[in-house]
A and B are shown apart, each in its own frame.
Chain A
Amino acid sequence: MKHIPSRSGGLKPLRCMWPIAIAFVAGVVAQDRSGEWPMYSGSYRAERFSSLKEITPSNVSRLRPVWVYQPPGTGSLETTPVVVNGLMYVTAGPTMVQALDLRSGKSIWEWTRPIGQSVLNLGFPRVNRGVAVLDSTVYVGTLDGYLVALDAKAGVERWSVHVGENPLGHSITAAPLVVDNKVIVGVSGGEAGIRGFLDAYDAKSGKQLWRFYTVPSPGEPGSQSWQGDSWVHGGGATWLTGAYDPQLKLLYWGTGNPGPDWNGDSRKGDNLYTSSLVAIDIETGKARWHFQFTPHDVHDWDANQIPVLVDAEINGRPRQLVVQANRNAFFYVLDRKTGEYLLGAPYAKQTWAKGLDEKGRPILVPDMDPSEKGTLVYPSLQGSTNWASPSYSPLTGYLYVPVREMGSIYFKTPVEYKPGTYYTGGSEKRLDEESWGAVRAIDVKTGKKVWDFELPSPPWAGVLSTAGGLVFGGSNEGNFYALDASTGKPLWQFQTGGQIRSGPMSFAVGGRQHVAVAGGHALFVFALE
C-alpha cells in the first residue's frame, strides 16, 4: 500500500528527503510526485498550498491559458481537479468523472452515473466537487448517495456502496478523502432532517469499516444536549472534505447545522456535535475531541468549512494547530491534539455575539434569533465564508479566506418533518446590494487581518497559495486573478466568462507549473508563455 504524500511537506528539508529514500529502498527511480495535486485540498493538511514556485510575482504577468476543457452537459463546475499519475481527474454535476491528459486537456475516459430528476438535492445544487485517488483507483461520491470506485486508467467501475438514503435527503457532493487504505466520505442533507454521519470504507473492497454519527443517540455522550427525540432529525451533515494528521492518526471534519435550521424550538440545548469540529480516530471511528463553534445554531452557520492543519508558535510555544475561519464570522485556533481553544476573533462583520469567552463559546447578543417578522443579523445565512476553500501559506503564516460580507433578515416559520422535504423552519431575505466580498489574509498567530483584496460581491471561489509567493482566487464575476501573497496587490487577471464556484489548484507537467480553475462550465488551465 502506498500513501499519498503531503505536498506541503516539500517545503521542509527533512521531508524533502522522502522521494530519495523511496528510490533507494525500492531500487528503482521513484516517480516524481512533486508536481501532483493528489487530493481535493492538495494535502492532508488541507492547506491548498502548492510547493511549486516557477510562477512568481515577477513573471505572473506572462500567465496564459494553455487549454480549456468543457465537459458535456450544462451547469456550473464546482470541481477541484486532482492530478495523480499523469492524469487529471475532474468532476461535473450531477455525477460525472473525466480523466484528462495533462498536456492537451483531452479526455482519456469518462464515467457517468445516470441521475434522474427524482434524485433529491435539498439545499444545494446538483454538483460534484471532486474525487479521491489511491493507487489505481479513483473514488467519487454520487448525488444519489453512493460511493463508487473506478479504475484510474480506464474509468471502469470496480465497486459501489450505498452510503445514504437519497429519498430521505442524503447525497454526496464532496470529494472523499483516502487515508490508510480507507475511503472517508461525508454526506449532505442538513436541510432535510437527516442524522449526519461520516463513513469509512475499505479502499479495496468497499466494505464499511465504521460510521461516526455526528448526532448522538440517547445514552451516548452529548445526547443530553438534545430535547426529546429531536436528535432523530438533528442534522449535522458532513458535506465537505476534512483534513488528517498522520502522526496523531486523527481526522478533522467539520459538521453541519442542526435541524431544523432556523427554528430551534424543538431542539433546546447545545445540539452536539452539530456546527462543530470533530477529531476522529482513524482506526476506531470514535471522536477523540470536539469543539462546538455555534452551540444551538439557529442561523444555518454550519462548520463544514475546510479545517486547516498548521504548525506555529502561539504565545511563544510551538503548537500543532487546527485553524478554521468559521461560517459564523469568527476565526478559531485550536490545539489539534487536544481540541483546546487557543484563540478566536471575528474576521468579518457580525452582529450576533459580543465575543467569545475563555473557552471559545460565543457570548450572545440578545434577540438575534430568527423571528416571524424577521431579524437582521450579520453574517447572512451563507455565512462569512462557506465551502469555498481557504488557503494557508507556511511561507507567510497567513490564512487566505474568501470572505462574504453580507447580512440577512432571518425568518422563523413553523416546521414539521416530512421525509424527503425541506426541514428548515424559516428563510432569509438577503441584503444583496449592500454586500461585498474579499480575499482576506489573516495572521494565524493573532487572528488579525493583514490585508484585504476586495471583490464586488461575496465570493464562491476558493483560494490557492503557492511557494512562488502568489495567491490565486476567483470571483462571481468570472475573474481569475493572482495576488502578491505578502501584500494582496493584484498582479494578473483573466476573465473566464462565467462565475467561479470552485477552488484553484496547481500542478506541473513537463517541468512547467500550471494553475487550473473551473469558471462557469469550463475548466481553464494556465502556464507561463
Chain B
Amino acid sequence: MKWLLLVIVSMVAAAAAAAQPAVARLNTAGASDVAAGQRIFDSQCAWCHGAGGTGGTGPDLRRSSLRHAATDEALVGIVRNGIPGTEMPGFAVALTERMAWQTAAYVKSLGRTKPASLLGNAKRGAKVYESSGCGSCHTVNGVGGISGPELTSVGALRGVPYLRESIVKPAAAHPTGYLVVVATTKSGEDIRGVRVNEDVFWIHLRDAGGNVHALEKSQLAKVERQLDASLMPSYESRLAAADLDDLVAYLATLRGAQ
C-alpha cells in the first residue's frame, strides 16, 4: 500500500500547486506559445471564428478590445468556460490550462493585426437595407419584421464572411431556431415554415407570413426537415456588387441597441 500512499500524497501536493492562480498575463507569452495557440485555434475555434479569427458564425476576433474580455484573465476564462447565454461554448474539457492560456495569447495577438477594411460603405448600406425590404422580415433596434432573425447585434455576433454568405446564399447555414420544415397534412396541404418548437407529438412552425401553426404529428402525413434550406431568398442576383458590399458593411456596424 506504500505506493498508493505515495501516489495520493503526490496527487494532493500537485492539487495544491494547481490551486494557485493560472498565469493570466498574456503579454508574457512567447512566440512558441502564440504558435501553439494558433494551432489549437485552427483546430478548435476556426469552425466558428474563421481561420485567423476573421469571423464566421462567430465574431471577428481581430479587435484590440473584445466586449466580453476586458482583461487577460477574462479572455482565458472565456476560452475555458465559454460565454453563458451565447453560442460560445467552454473548452475546459478539451484544453489544459496551459493550452487555454496559449489559445488566449493567440487571440490577443489577433487584436494587434489590422482587420482588412470593409469594401462597402455602411451609410449607403443602410439605404440598401431599406430599399431591399430587409426590414419586412428582420428587426433592427426595435423596428422591423419577425420572420427572420433580429439583426440589432448581428455585426458583433457574426463575422463579415458569414454576413455576406447569408445574403448571397442564405441556405448555406441557418442560425439556431431557423430550421425549415415542411409539414404535409393528411389532406395533402404543405405548410412550410421555421421550426419554433417540436416535441415527440407536436410541431410548431412559423411561416413566412409570421403565422404560427401548431400541428399534431398524428394528423400529418409527413414532416420533412430541410437542413439545407432557408425561408430567405438569395439576394445574389437582386443586388449589384457594390450594393452587396455596402449592405455587408452596414450589417457589420450593428453591434447592439442604439
Contact = CB atoms under 8 A, between A and B. Distances in A.
> What secondary structure prevails in chain B residues at the interface with A?
helix
B183 interface: no
B179 A433 contact: yes
B93 A419 contact: no
B18 A420 contact: yes
Contacts of B96: 414-416, 418, 421-422
A403 to B, nearest CB: 14
A167 interface: yes
B93 A191 contact: yes
B44 to A, nearest CB: 7
A413 B11 contact: no
B93 A422 contact: yes
A427 B94 contact: yes
A421 B97 contact: yes
A378 B229 CA distance: 24
Interface stretch (B50-58, B123-131, B162-170, B197-205): B197-205
A225 B26 CA distance: 41
Contacts of B199: 456, 475, 477-479, 495
Given A456-B200, A493-B200, A167 B227 contact: no
Contacts, number: 79
Contacts of B94: 411, 413, 422, 424, 426-427
B195 to A, nearest CB: 9
A419 B18 contact: yes
Nearest to B7: A232
Given A373-B43, A411-B44, A420-B18, A165 B8 contact: yes
A426 B91 CA distance: 9
Given A421-B97, A429-B47, A167 B12 contact: yes
B252 interface: no
B95 interface: yes
A424 B200 CA distance: 34
Contacts of A168: 11-12, 15
Contacts of B98: 416
Q: Which of A374, A419, A429, A434 has the most CB of B within 10 A?
A: A419
B204 to A, nearest CB: 11
Interface in B16-59: 18, 39-40, 43-44, 47
A372 B40 CA distance: 8
A43 to B, nearest CB: 28
B240 interface: no
Contacts of B18: 418-421
A478 B199 CA distance: 7
A345 to B, nearest CB: 27
Contacts of B47: 429
Contacts of B198: 456, 477
Contact of B43 (A374, A479, A481): A374
Contacts of A433: 179, 227
Nearest to A420: B15
Nearest to B48: A429
A9 interface: no
A422 B43 contact: no
A411 B227 CA distance: 24
A415 B39 CA distance: 15
B127 to A, nearest CB: 35
A298 interface: no
Interface string A478-520: 1101000000001001010000000000000000000000000
B15 A427 contact: no
A478 B201 CA distance: 11
A427 B91 contact: yes
Contacts of A479: 199-201
A99 to B, nearest CB: 32
Given A421-B96, A456-B199, A493-B200, A411 B11 contact: no
B5 interface: no
B218 to A, nearest CB: 8
Interface string B168-203: 000000000001000000000000000000111100
Contacts of A411: 43-44, 94
A355 interface: no
A455 interface: yes
A457 to B, nearest CB: 9
A413 B93 CA distance: 11
Contacts of B91: 427
Nearest to A495: B199
B244 interface: no
A427 B99 contact: no
Nearest to B18: A418
A123 interface: yes
A424 B95 CA distance: 8
Contacts of B11: 165, 168, 419
A165 B4 CA distance: 13
Contacts of B39: 372
B77 to A, nearest CB: 15
A446 B92 CA distance: 42
A123 B200 CA distance: 28
B227 A418 contact: no
Contacts of B179: 433
Contacts of B257: none
B14 interface: yes
Interface in A202-223: 217
Contacts of B3: 217
Given A123-B93, A477-B200, A418 B14 contact: yes
B7 A418 contact: no
A478 B200 CA distance: 9
A419 B201 contact: no
Contacts of B12: 165, 167-168, 419
Q: Which of B47, B94, B198, B201 has the most CB of A within 10 A?
A: B94
Interface string A288-300: 0000000000000
A413 B97 contact: no
B200 A372 contact: no
A413 to B, nearest CB: 6
7 contacts: A419-B12, A420-B18, A422-B96, A424-B94, A427-B93, A479-B199, A495-B199
Per CB-CB distance, the 7 closest pairs between chain A and chain B, nearest first, are A427-B94, A477-B199, A419-B15, A479-B200, A419-B14, A419-B11, A420-B15
Given A414-B99, A422-B93, A479-B201, 8 more contacts: A123-B93, A411-B94, A419-B15, A419-B18, A420-B18, A424-B93, A433-B179, A490-B201
Interface of B: 3, 7-8, 11-12, 14-15, 18, 39-40, 43-44, 47, 91-99, 179, 198-201, 227
